[in-house]
Structure 1
Amino acid sequence: MRTHFIAIGGSAMHNLAIALKDKGYQVTGSDDAIFEPSKSRLEKKGILPEEMGWFPEKITSDIDAVILGMHAHQDNPELAKAKELGLKIYSYPEFLYEQSKTKTRVVIAGSHGKTTITSMILHVLNFHQKDVDYMVGAQLEGFDCMVKLTEDNDFMVLEGDEYLSSPIDLRSKFLLYQPNIALMSGIAWDHINVFKTFNDYIEQFRRFVASITPGGVLVYNEEDAEVVKVVENAENYFRKIPYKTPEYEISNGKVFLKTEMGDIPLSVFGAHNLLNLEGARHICHTLGIMDEDFYDAIMSFKGASKRLEKVEREDKGILYKDFAHAPSKVKAAVKAFCEQFKNEKKYGFLELHTYSSLNPVFLEQYNHAMDGLDEAIVFYSEDALKIKRMEPISPDLIKEKFKNEKLKVFTNAEELHAYWNLLDKTQGVYMMMSSGNFGGLDLTK
């Protein structure tokens, strides 16, 4: 089968391209810019475009599938040529469904926790040498590629994102998967640039639940009121399995899960991660993994990339980085950090750089998000606001919305870096929350 990727360099797209190459497909692609690690990984597989840009002449009638990434625009010249030739154009999730429609599909959805839960499930299955197809949005220890597609596997585990499928398909990605088994971890308004109201956002999860195949299974977080409402109001037939935060304790800086089989030591921390773990346990149970085997495997799970991930520093200081940027994720990460390091001075840095996080209306959602930290720092770039054509935001407004007068606010990367360099990283503990890089800050030094 011959496939062509428009915007092959994306974090998700390049993994799918590699998976198809490994499957034996003929793969080509284009992009106007490709960064690391995508660039090296594509080059290693021999599918890195020779030059950057869009080339309509690459689009020929013998292509079986064109896969369109979100990075491309509606007026992309390669897309126009594909339409002109009448080629089959897929979004990323639509193509994944085509590859998995004869399999049992397990879809992990939610505003927060879905990457970690999916990662936990794959870790446990890999530990017990249970082979499945998968797609997950973070790099995992022991996995070369974050997409796997085979002809033979019976199951496919998919991280279900509620964001748009492609520039020409405005459905939420997870609506295309039609899960046989699903999990919903939580609902907290996100992607305000697409879902203008909270109700618009919740509607995507209503539709997701409605897309569960008849007689399927939904594992859901019973501690989330919005999730419970969606589940209780669903009209289609499926089996409902609730889960909640399990009992645990922290002893000498180590988290222990309290179970019927005794105390299970864990390598992750935070109530939200324990809640994620419980959801993963229920999903694994539906896949035939008994609790004893689940606990045996989960002890060695160190976390998904950039989810409370410890950074090895040259000075041996204690620093964690977290992908947290949405309000619910920030609150969960801060709570976990404060609980884990009760007796240490705690520094928390948050970078705001998504459309939602820089929207004055949405900023209300961050109220008290940094409470509990001894030093709370928020950084956003005034230049980024200009690039996004958004109105300026004052540091005072940030403090007001966060309801934290002691908040330190930086709008210039150089000033942030100067403050950072003055801190003795061997004193206290540090958490850096961002889906960006704090203006190029090196966290290892």
Structure 2
Amino acid sequence: MNVHFIAIGGAAMHNLALALHNKGYRVTGSDDTIFEPSKSRLETKGLLPNEFGWFPEKITQDLDAVVLGMHAKEDNPELLRAQELGVKIYSYPEFLYEQSKEKTRVVIGGSHGKTTITSMILHVMHYHDRDVDYMVGAQLEGFDVMVKLTKENDFIVLEGDEYLSSPIDRRPKFHLYKPNIALLSGIAWDHINVFPTYENYVEQFSIFVDSIVSGGSINYNEEDPEVKRVVENSENTIRKLPYKTPEYSVFDGETLLETPEGELPIEIFGKHNLNNLAGAKWICQHMGVQEDEFYEAIATFKGASKRLEKIAERSNAIIYKDFAHSPSKVEATTKAVKEQYQDRVLLACLELHTYSSLNSEFLKEYKGALDAADVAVVFYSPHAVEIKKLDAISQEQIAKAFEREDLIIYTNPDDFKSFLFSQSFENKSVLLMSSGNYGGLDLDEVIGLL
């Protein structure tokens, strides 16, 4: 099968390209720029384009499919040529469905927790040498790729993202997978640039639940009122199986999970992660893993990349980085670190970096998100606001939104770095939350502070 990728360099797109190459397909692609690690990974497999740019001549009727990435525009020359020739054009999720329509599709959805839950499931399967296909949004320890597709595996585990499918397909990705087995972890308004109202955003999850195949099942977090309402109001003929946070305790910086066999020390921590674990356990049991097998495997799970990732530690100090940027994720992550190290001062640094977080109307959603921190810092770049063509936001607006009088706010990367590097790390937990890099902060330098 000959497949061409328009915008092959994206995190998701290049992983799908690698998966198809590994499956024996003939893969080509184009992009106007490709960054690391995508560049090196494509080059290793001989899939890196010879030059950057868009080349309509690459689109011929010999192609079986064109996969269109979100990075491309509607007037992309290669896309226009494919439309002109009548070549079959797929979005990323559409193509994944085509590759998995004969398999049992397990789809993990939710505003937060879906990468971690998907990672937990794959970790357990890998631990017990049970081969499954998958697509996950983070690089996992022990896994070479983020997408795996085979002809023979019965199960495919898919992280169900609610963001748009392609420039010409405005449906959320997770509407296209038609799960046999699904999970919904939580609903908290996000992607305000696509879903301008809370009601519109929640509606996407109702559609997701209704997309589950008749006779299928959904496990849902009954502690989230919106999740509970959406699932229980669905008239889809599916099994509805609730889950909740299991009992656990924290002693001397270690989390102990209550199990039928007694207390089990685990590597991850925080109520939100224990809630994720409960969901993952259900899904693994649907896939044939016994409860004791799950506990044995999950004890060695260290977390998904960029999700509460420990980057430095000494006897009385620790530094974590986390991808958290939406209000619910920031609140859950901050509470988790404070609970794990109750006797230490928690310094939490949040970068407002995404379209939603820099939107003046959305800012109010951050009320109380940093309350668990002893010292709370927010960094944002006014230049980033300009680039995203948003209304300017002031430090006063941010302080009012978080409702925290002692909130420290920086807009200059050098000033933020000077503050961070001037801190004593004695008896302190440091949490760096961002989907960016604080205007160029070198994490190796931060690690050197310990």
Could you tell me the percent identity over the aligned residues?
A: 63
| Alignment pair present for 1:61 and 2:66 | no
Output the CA distance in 2 between the equivalents of 1:312 and 1:338: 17
Structure 1 residue runs of 5 or longer lacking an equivalent are none
How do residues 313-392 of structure 1 correspond to structure 2 at under 5 angstroms? Answer: 317-392=317-392
Output the CA distance in 1 between the equivalents of 2:418 and 2:73: 38
Output the CA distance in 2 between the equivalents of 1:410 and 1:321: 18
Match of 2:291 in 1: 291
Match for 2:140: what amino acid? L
Contact 1:312–1:444 (Cα < 8 Å) also in 2 = no
Match of 1:11 in 2: 11
Output the CA distance in 1 between the equivalents of 2:154 and 2:428: 48
Output the CA distance in 2 between the equivalents of 1:425 and 1:69: 43
Match for 2:185: what amino acid? S
| Alignment pair present for 1:220 and 2:205 | no
Output the CA distance in 2 between the equivalents of 1:357 and 1:329: 12
Contact 1:313–1:444 (Cα < 8 Å) also in 2 = no
Match of 1:433 in 2: 433
Match of 2:48 in 1: 48
Output one character per residue of 1:328-362: Cα deviation in whole Å (capped at 9) or x when no partner.
10010011011011111110010111111111111
Match for 2:389: what amino acid? R
How do residues 67-106 of structure 1 correspond to structure 2 at under 5 angstroms? Answer: 67-106=67-106
Match of 1:157 in 2: 157
How do residues 185-334 of structure 1 correspond to structure 2 at under 5 angstroms? Answer: 185-312=185-312, 317-334=317-334
Query: Taking structure 1 as the reference length, what is the TM-score of the superposition?
Result: 0.98
**Which stretch shows the higher mean deviation, 434-443 or 175-184?**
434-443
In structure 2, relative to structure 1, the CA distance for the partners of 1:79 and 1:315 (3 Å cut) is: farther
Output the CA distance in 1 between the equivalents of 2:437 and 2:54: 28
Name the SS for the 2:444 alignment partner: coil
Measure how far apart 1:261 and its partner are: 1.1
Structure 1 vs Structure 2 CA RMSD:
1.2
| Alignment pair present for 1:34 and 2:34 | yes
Measure how far apart 1:443 and its partner are: 2.0
Name the SS for the 1:153 alignment partner: coil
Output the CA distance in 1 between the equivalents of 2:271 and 2:385: 34
Measure how far apart 1:314 and its partner are: 9.9
Match for 1:440: what amino acid? G
Measure how far apart 1:427 and its partner are: 4.8
Match for 1:224: what amino acid? D
Output the CA distance in 1 between the equivalents of 2:214 and 2:391: 47
Contact 1:249–1:255 (Cα < 8 Å) also in 2 = yes
Contact 2:360–2:391 (Cα < 8 Å) also in 1 = no
Query: Taking structure 2 as the reference length, what is the TM-score of the superposition?
Result: 0.97
Match of 2:147 in 1: 147
Q: Where do 4+ consecutive residues of structure 1 move more than 4 Å? A: 313-317
Contact 1:109–1:161 (Cα < 8 Å) also in 2 = yes
Match for 1:341: what amino acid? Y
Match of 1:397 in 2: 397
Match for 2:137: what amino acid? G
Contact 1:315–1:425 (Cα < 8 Å) also in 2 = no
Measure how far apart 1:317 and its partner are: 4.8
Match for 1:191: what amino acid? H
In structure 2, relative to structure 1, the CA distance for the partners of 1:293 and 1:79 (3 Å cut) is: same
Contact 1:311–1:444 (Cα < 8 Å) also in 2 = no
Contact 2:351–2:436 (Cα < 8 Å) also in 1 = yes
Output one character per residue of 1:372-422: Cα deviation in whole Å (capped at 9) or x when no partner.
211111011011111111111111110100011111111111211121221
Output the CA distance in 1 between the equivalents of 2:55 and 2:182: 40
In structure 2, relative to structure 1, the CA distance for the partners of 1:213 and 1:286 (3 Å cut) is: same
Contact 1:410–1:416 (Cα < 8 Å) also in 2 = yes
Contact 2:184–2:227 (Cα < 8 Å) also in 1 = yes
Output one character per residue of 1:255-290: Cα deviation in whole Å (capped at 9) or x when no partner.
000111111110001000000000000000101101
Structure 2 residue runs of 5 or longer lacking an equivalent are 446-450
Contact 2:107–2:159 (Cα < 8 Å) also in 1 = yes
Measure how far apart 1:313 and its partner are: 6.8
Output the CA distance in 2 between the equivalents of 1:87 and 1:179: 27
Match of 2:419 in 1: 419
Name the SS for the 1:54 alignment partner: coil
Output the CA distance in 2 between the equivalents of 1:383 and 1:210: 41
Contact 2:337–2:429 (Cα < 8 Å) also in 1 = no
